[in-house]
Amino acid sequence: MKKGQKALVIDDSALVRRFLKKELERLGFEVEVAKDGEEGEKKALANRYDFITLDIEMPRKSGLEVLESIMQENPTRVLVISAYVIENGEIAMRALELGALDYIKKPNSKVVTGEEGFIKELENKVRDSMKINKLSLLRRKNKPLRQPNSIEKPAKFLPNEDKKYVLIGASTGGPKLIEAIVRSLPATYPYPVCVVQHMPDTFTEKFAQRLNTISQNSVVEANNGEELTPGKIIIGKGGRHLHFRRDGSKIVCKLVPNFSNRFFVPSVDEMFLSALEVMNPKNIMAMLLTGIGDDGADGMVALKKSGAYTIAESEESATVYGMPKEAYVRGGAVKVLHFDEILQEIIAFGSSNGVKKSRS
């Protein structure tokens, strides 16, 4: 960390506050603390912190209320540290939607100082969070995502055209973008959409259920044998890689254990590379959105070389310009676009006019 960077710890446990303060100071931060949500909100809005840790269940004001206020008034890097984020996936989903960058399950406050795994996870996620440019958080505050103009006027599709597929990969900052895509697709969208969003095992089912409530199309968590049908949106299952196989004339999902020892499970690369084995690459639109690391970059290169239409999110709109940057640097992107333009491209891909595969 850079010297002089400031952090705020918001937690109602004195023991946890002391522990987190000590660990963040070890990482180089100047650290202040707040004993409940109300005090934390006041400090977060009155000061410019580089990083904030936030508990969820607190007296006077909940962590989710504080997070919403922070991201609306003074966007800051926020890491949720709570005992509830794993047990209650809805809370974690809501925190990510409101703008939290990541989350950690907090151990029992009586043993937190002895949890070596927790300390290592905290250090890694703090370092990852600090790689994110705060300007991207400000852009998200000041420029809400646009909805494509074509939503209200469903496209007319060509009859008897080859089956086509939309493949999407995302990580940190992705859930809000996936939600925007799902909300934008018209009920007449003619192609299946498959999504790998890096999430823990217990979250993807709840994520799919939440998306299904806002979509004009069916949104499901991937299952073995799940058929890719027009308009269906399939969310990769946490803890398994999303592969595809042929079943007669159909293409269906195949869930695979992490035999390849990937860091992320599901992995975007696994989905992209599997698609090449069973789909005509010239009928694939694949995109890599915001995220730390390089998962999906090699798969994008292979897809592009085979004739697929590949898009990487631009640095301007990406919360974390890691995965899409690697795809671009390695030559895997036909286009590099702002997320608002990516929404338009997805809709255009399903229209009779198609899209122009020009380079950007």
pLDDT tens for residues 212-253? 999 999 999 999 999 999 999 999 999 999 999 999 889 999
Q: Does position 136 have pLDDT exceeding 70, yes or no?
A: no
Residues 187 and 114 in one domain: no
| Average pLDDT for 94-123 | 77
H-helix or E-strand spanning residue 342: helix 339-349
Which tokens sit at 48?
Answer: 């410019």
Check residue 161 and give its pLDDT: 45
More confident residue, 123 or 110: 123
Residues 294 and 193 in one domain: yes
Each residue of 6-52: pLDDT tens digit?
Answer: 999 999 999 999 999 999 999 999 999 999 999 999 999 999 999 99
| Average pLDDT for 88-108 | 79
Q: Measured between alpha carbons, how far is 75 from 142 in angstroms, rounded to an integer?
A: 10
Q: Does position 145 have pLDDT exceeding 60, yes or no?
A: no
3-state secondary structure of 196: strand
Could you tell me if 40 and 66 are in contact, meaning their C-beta atoms sit under 8 angstroms apart?
Answer: yes
For residue 57, what is the domain's CATH number?
3.40.50.2300
For residue 181, what is the domain's CATH number?
3.40.50.180
Q: What percent of the chain has pLDDT over 70?
A: 86
- Return the biggest CA–CA distance within the chain: 66
More confident residue, 345 or 154: 345
Residues 265 and 291 in one domain: yes
Residues 135 and 164 in one domain: no
Each residue of 191-214: pLDDT tens digit?
Answer: 999 999 998 788 899 899 999 999
Each residue of 64-73: pLDDT tens digit?
Answer: 999 999 988 8
CA pseudo-torsion sign 11, 14, 19, 23: positive
Note the Cα 50 to chain centre separation in Å. Answer: 21
Residues 71 and 178 in one domain: no
Q: Does position 157 have pLDDT exceeding 50, yes or no?
A: no
Q: Measured between alpha carbons, how far is 168 from 235 in angstroms, rounded to an integer?
A: 10
Residues 33 and 161 in one domain: no
Could you tell me if 28 and 2 are in contact, meaning their C-beta atoms sit under 8 angstroms apart?
Answer: yes
Cβ-based neighbours of 99, under 8 Å, separated by 6 or more? 67, 70, 71, 75, 78, 137, 140, 176
Q: Does position 86 have pLDDT exceeding 70, yes or no?
A: no
In a domain, 1, yes or no: no
Which amino acid, residue 148?
P
Residues 88 and 192 in one domain: no
> Which residues form the catalytic set?
171, 198, 295
Among candidate residues 90, 119, 141, the one where a domain is terminated: 141
Residues 250 and 320 in one domain: yes
Check residue 112 and give its pLDDT: 57
In a domain, 356, yes or no: no
Q: Measured between alpha carbons, how far is 292 from 94 in angstroms, rounded to an integer?
A: 20
In a domain, 103, yes or no: yes
Q: Does position 163 have pLDDT exceeding 90, yes or no?
A: no
Each residue of 298-334: pLDDT tens digit?
Answer: 999 999 999 999 999 999 999 888 899 999 999 999 9
Q: Measured between alpha carbons, how far is 187 from 164 in angstroms, rounded to an integer?
A: 16
More confident residue, 289 or 71: 289
Q: What average pLDDT is seen over the chain?
A: 86
Q: Does position 138 have pLDDT exceeding 70, yes or no?
A: no
Vertex 312 angle, CA 144 and 101, to 5°: 50
Check residue 10 and give its pLDDT: 97
The total number of structural domains in the chain stands at 2
Among candidate residues 141, 163, 180, the one where a domain is terminated: 141
DSSP 281: G
Residues 134 and 153 in one domain: no
Domain holding 88, by residue range, is 6-141
Check residue 360 and give its pLDDT: 40
Banded pLDDT at 137 (limits 50, 70, 90): low
H-helix or E-strand spanning residue 269: helix 268-278
Q: Strand 165-170 vs strand 284-288: parallel, antiparallel, or unpaired?
A: parallel
Q: Does position 155 have pLDDT exceeding 80, yes or no?
A: no
In a domain, 357, yes or no: no
Residues 221 and 249 in one domain: yes
Among candidate residues 106, 141, 176, the one where a domain is terminated: 141
Residues 135 and 161 in one domain: no
